[in-house]
Structure formats: C-alpha cells, structure tokens
Amino acid sequence: MFESLSDRLGAIFEGLRGRGALEEKDVNEALREVRIALLEADVALPVAKEFIGKVKERAIGAEVLRSVTPGQQVVKIVHDALVEMLGGSDKTDLDFATTPPAVIMMVGLQGSGKTTSTAKIALRLQKREKKKVLMASLDTRRPAAQEQLAILGEQAEVKTLPIIAGQNPRDIAKRALEAGRLGGFDVVMLDTAGRLSIDEQLMAEIADIHAASDPIETLLVVDALTGQDAVSTAEKFKARVPVSGVVMTRIDGDARGGAALSMRAVTGAPIKFVGVGEKIDALDTFEPERMAGRILGMGDIVSLVEKASLEIDEAKAKKAAKKMAKGEFDMDDLADQFRQMRKMGGMGAILGMMPGMGKMKKMVDQAGGLDDKEILHQEAIISSMTKAERKKPALLNASRKKRIAKGSGTSVQQVNKLIKAHRQMSDMMKKLGKGGMKGMAKQLAG
Ligand code: GDP
C-alpha cells in the first residue's frame, strides 16, 4: 500500500539529503514535488495545500539539529505533519465505558465492505479483548444480507441474532439490544443497510436507528479504492449522523493512499480500522505513526541516517562481494567489514537482522561477542600491517607479528586471533561465493 506516494517522496528527499545547508530555495523546490506527489496520490487539493504550508512554515527558519543534516530535518518535519494529518494521537481504540451491552453501529454504502468489516471487528473484540459479541444485520433491503452476516458469524464463531423474516430495521435493532442484555453480551454490533449512493431515505433510517440504539461508536465504512469519493461520502454521512470513526477497507489494493491522507483532514473523523484483505482476520487498527513512516518509506530518522551511511558503502560492498566470490578476501577487506560492523551496531546486530543467521549469532555470542572496542583493536592490528602483508597474510611470520602487535598496542596472541578469524571468514566467503546466501544458511543450519 502507498507504494507510489512513498516512492515519489523517497526520491524527493534523496535529493535533499547530503547537502550541507538547506536554503529556502531547496525547501520550496522539494515541497513543490511533495505537492505534486500528494495530488497524484489523490489527496484533496486544499488538504495538500494546507499540508505544504504547514511544512514550509516549520522547515524554513527551523533550528537544524546538530546531529542530523538539514535534509533529514525536513524529512522529520514532513513526517510529523503527516502523522498530524492522519490523526496524530487520536484515540483509535473503541470506548466501552458504558453499561453493557455497548452498541457499535456500522454504516456505509453498499459494497464498501461494511458486512465484512462488522464481522472482522466482532472477531477482533471477541478474540483480543475477550468481549462477548452479538451481531445483527438490519439490512432488510438487500436480499440475503442477513444470511451473509450469519455465515460470516459462523466463520468467525461470533453469535448472530436469529433472523425473523419481515421485521423492519428499527425492530431488529430493538430485538438485538434486548437479546444483548438478556444474553449477557458486552457488545452488540448493528450492521445497517447500505445503498449504492446516499439517499434521503437511507439517511433517515440510519438517523432513526442511531437515536433508538444510542451507540457508543458509529463507524463509517468506506472503500479506499474510491479515493476522493470515499472522503465526500464520509462528509455526507457525517452531516447526518455523528460518525465517531472510519473503517477504511481495501487498503491492501490502494497504492495511492490519498483517501487515507485526506480523510481525517476533511471530515475530522479519525480512521480507526483499516481492512487489509478479504479474510476475516484481515483488519488492522489504524496507527498514524506507522502509516506516516510507511508513506515516507523511510522509517524513522535514526534508520534514515543508517541508510544514508550504508549507501555510501554500497559501491565498496559490491566490489568486495565480487572479490569474495573469487575467493580473494584480504586483510583490507576484513578491515572494511569491521568498519561496516561498527556502523551497524556490532556483529550481533547484523546477524540478528539476517534471516537464517540465528545460529551464527549464537556462535558469535558464545565466543564472547564482538563489541565495538574489540572491533577497534582488530582494525588497529590491520592498519599496523604493511600493504604487502594485508594483501598476503601468509607473509606474517613470528617477527612480523611481534612488530604488528607492538605497533597496534596489542599482543601477538591478539594478532594470531585476528589471523585465524580472517582465515575462517575467508573460507566462509568462498563458500558463500559458491552457494550464495542460501548455501551458507544451509551449512550453518546443518
Ligand atoms: P457491504 O455491501 O458493504 O456489506 O460489503 P461486503 O462486506 O459484502 O464486502 C464486499 C466485498 O469486498 C466482499 O467481497 C469482501 O470480501 C470485500 N472486502 C471487504 N473488505 C475488504 C478489504 O479490506 N480488502 C479486500 N481486498 N476486500 C475486502
């Protein structure tokens, strides 16, 4: 989800990064691109404008922190503004501070995913929050709508109100509340009827049921794939019923993400849940922080800095990989590896991040780990070697080792240890060159 917007924004900030100082001209240029990216993602124009204005105001004249580049600072400002636009610290969990049963009313257009979302939320409440949930379909217009909910209820193992043919929506709602009370249910979910488009009759019916059932939550279900239409649908519903939150479905198919970005800004209603697939458990709570990170496609500033420094090393790494594949891995390469390790937070951290490397991490840990200080020692040993020795470690005889130990402030033992580590690593690299990562993982697992 959100790939295209995140790609665009990623490219824009790539341009900003790495500059010494950030000028107004740069900010303006980058923000022009951001605006285009937002509009292309189907974000409403006034929302995009407001967003850009906010970022600009904060970016120009902002104090640039010592530890980050100005470009990163702007990324952070954009990120924070995105979080705000997506709802900031809105409380997205449902509020049950009421005498049970608490009523959750689901509203939305036909085909938005309302019935599916009803069952998804019911399942979630029952499973995660241990609530006893009863679902009832008030949709007497669409043939088989009530049966559809009953079937979903069976799948999710959530109780549904028995169907009585011919009853009107208001009476079904009353019966559901009564059954909820008598049956000791914590939550009663009312799945109201949808329409293909908003009409007066639908709105009147929904307002009527709302008044009769006094829900703690009125959740509007909208289809993310309809983009700006989802936002205008939400506006219209909100004008008639007090919508407390939005469930945005089909986020799994929404590459542009504009609807999610505009929703909160335009309607004021927080997105509480997102539907991420057809399956009954394909529902996530909506987290603005996570979503903003995803839209920017860059995670937080810390990982951004890491990424930036890794990119510089990428060319080097490629060259090294080529050499390794040929079985050439000298002391200079080893020194490079050490430098990389230090940047990435030590050997343990790297191995922990790589799939299939769990066993190797254990090995390193058992050997006492490799901390930063030790890595620095190793680097010092290598830099005390002559160029010829680094290229051809076999040259290292007793007197050379002694000289190196003295030069690096270490002992001959430590020099020996490094030579051994180099040999082991170079063997491993050879295997890696032959079998690739999978080959090595297999070997370590075996
Ligand atoms: P209703 O008319 O609003 O009650 O819509 P339904 O609940 O019947 O859903 C219509 C279709 O959308 C069904 O085929 C659902 O499986 C599908 N659907 C619902 N939510 C999602 C979602 O989050 N992702 C995807 N991919 N499909 C969904």
CATH of residue 342's domain is 1.10.260.30
Q: What is the CATH number of the domain that holds 8?
A: 1.20.120.140
Whether 423 is in a domain gets the answer yes
Q: How far apart are CA 376 and CA 301, in angstroms?
A: 26
Q: Which of 278, 281, 285 to mutate to test the pocket of ligand 1 (most atoms within 8 A of CB)?
A: 278
Q: Clarify whether residues 30 and 131 are in a common domain.
A: no
Q: Is the pLDDT of residue 171 over 90?
A: yes
In a domain, residue 95? The reply is: no
Handedness of CA 101, 103, 104, 110 (dihedral sign): positive
- Give the H/E segment covering residue 223: strand 217-223
What is the C-alpha R_g of the chain? 30
Mean pLDDT estimate for the chain: 79
If you measure from the C-alpha of residue 114 to the centroid of ligand 1, how many angstroms do you get, rounded to a whole number? Answer: 7
Which of 46-50, 144-148, 232-236, 437-441 is least confident?
A: 437-441
pLDDT tens, residue by residue, 266-302: 888 889 999 999 999 999 888 887 777 766 654 444 3
Q: Count how many domains the chain has.
A: 3
Verify that 226 and 306 share a domain, yes or no. Answer: no
Half-sphere exposure (Cβ direction) of 188: Cα atoms closer than 13 Å: 29
Atom of ligand 1 nearest to the CA of 253: 26
> What is the rounded CA–CA span in Å between residue 56 and residue 354?
39
Instruction: Indicate if 372 and 402 belong to the same structural domain.
Output: yes
Over 60: is that where the pLDDT of 446 sits? no
Q: Where are the alpha helices (DSSP H) in 41-161?
A: 45-59, 70-85, 114-128, 145-156
User: Which pLDDT value is given to residue 181?
Assistant: 95
Place 438 in a pLDDT band, splitting at 50, 70 and 90. Answer: very low
Which atom number of ligand 1 is nearest to the Cα of residue 277?
24
In order, the DSSP letters of 232-293 are HHHHHHHHHS---EEEEE-GGG-SS-HHHHHHHHHH-PPEEEEE-SSSTT-EEE--HHHHHH
CATH of residue 278's domain is: 3.40.50.300
Residues 154 and 245 in one domain: yes
Q: Read off the pLDDT of each residue in 150-165 and give the average, rounded to a whole number.
A: 95
Q: What is the predicted pLDDT for the residue at 6?
A: 61
- Residue of higher predicted confidence among 315 and 296: 296
**Residues 76 and 114 grouped into a single domain:** no
Tell me how far CA of residue 431 lies from CA of 360, 423, 426, in angstroms: 15, 13, 9
Strand order in the sheet with 245-249: 159-160, 133-137, 187-191, 102-108, 217-223, 245-249, 271-275, 283-285
Q: Is the pLDDT of residue 137 over 50?
A: yes
Listed in sequence order, the DSSP H helices in 99-199 are 114-128, 145-156, 169-182
97 within domain boundaries: no
Question: Do the strands 133-137 and 159-160 form a parallel or antiparallel pair, or are they unpaired?
Answer: parallel
State residue 294's pLDDT score. Answer: 66
Residues having CB closer than 6 A to ligand 1 are 108, 110-116, 194, 249-250, 252-253, 275-278, 282
Q: How confident is the model at residue 424 (pLDDT cuts 50, 70, 90)?
A: confident
**Total residue count of the chain as it appears in this document:** 446
Burial of 235 (0-12, 13-18, 19+ CB in 10 A): middle
Burial of 247 (0-12, 13-18, 19+ CB in 10 A): buried
Pair (42, 177) in one structural domain: no
Per the structure, the complete domain to which residue 13 belongs is given by 3-85
| Secondary structure (DSSP) of 355-419 | TT-HHHHHHHHHTT---HHHHHHHHHHHHTS-HHHHH-GGG--HHHHHHHHHHHT--HHHHHHHH
Of the candidates 296, 315, 339, which is a domain's last residue?
296
Q: What is the pLDDT of residues 339-380, one digit of tens each?
A: 766 665 555 544 444 433 444 455 555 555 556 677 778 888
Asked if the structure places residue 278 within a domain, the reply is yes
Res 65: pLDDT: 55
Select the more confidently predicted residue: 44 or 192: 192
- In this predicted structure, the answer to whether residue 326 has a pLDDT above a threshold of 80 is no
* pLDDT computed for residue 247 by the predictor: 96
Q: Report the C-alpha gap between 198 and 112 in whole angstroms.
A: 13
Q: Considering only 59-68, 87-96, 281-290, which range has the smallest mean pLDDT? A: 59-68
> What residue owns the CA closest to ligand 1's atom 5?
113
Cis geometry, peptide bond prior to residue 101 (ω within 30 degrees of 0): yes
Q: Both 258 and 322 in a single domain?
A: no
Q: Residue 112 pLDDT more than 90?
A: yes
Asked whether residue 93 is domain-assigned, the answer is no
Is 70 exceeded by the pLDDT of residue 236? yes
Average confidence (pLDDT) over 33-49: 84
Of 63 and 36, more confident: 36
Q: Are residues 249 and 227 in the same domain?
A: yes
pLDDT bin (cut points 50, 70, 90) of residue 44 is confident
| 284 & 356 share domain | no
| 218 shares its domain with 140 | yes
Domain shared by 253 and 120, yes or no: yes
- What is the pLDDT at residue 215? 94
For the segment 210-235, the average pLDDT, to the nearest whole number, is 92
**Ligand 1 centre from 112 Cα, in Å?**
6
Residue 102 — very low, low, confident or very high, per pLDDT cuts 50/70/90? very high
CA distance 269 to 263: 7
**What is the number of the ligand 1 atom nearest to the C-alpha of 114?**
3
Split at pLDDT 50, 70, 90, the class of 1 is very low
The verdict on residue 411 lying in a domain is yes
Angle, CA of 43, 45 and 51, to the nearest 5°: 75
Domain-ending residue, one of 296, 323, 357: 296
At residue 120, the pLDDT reads: 96
290 with 317, same domain: the answer is: no
Window from 92-106, 270-284, 357-371, 397-411 with minimum mean pLDDT = 357-371
pLDDT at 251: 87
Nearest atom in ligand 1 to the alpha carbon of residue 191 is 4
Domain annotation covers residue 92: no
Query: pTM of the predicted model, to two decimals?
Result: 0.66
Domain assignment of residue 370, yes or no? yes
Q: How far apart are CA 6 and CA 26, in angstroms?
A: 20
Q: What is the DSSP letter of 225?
A: G
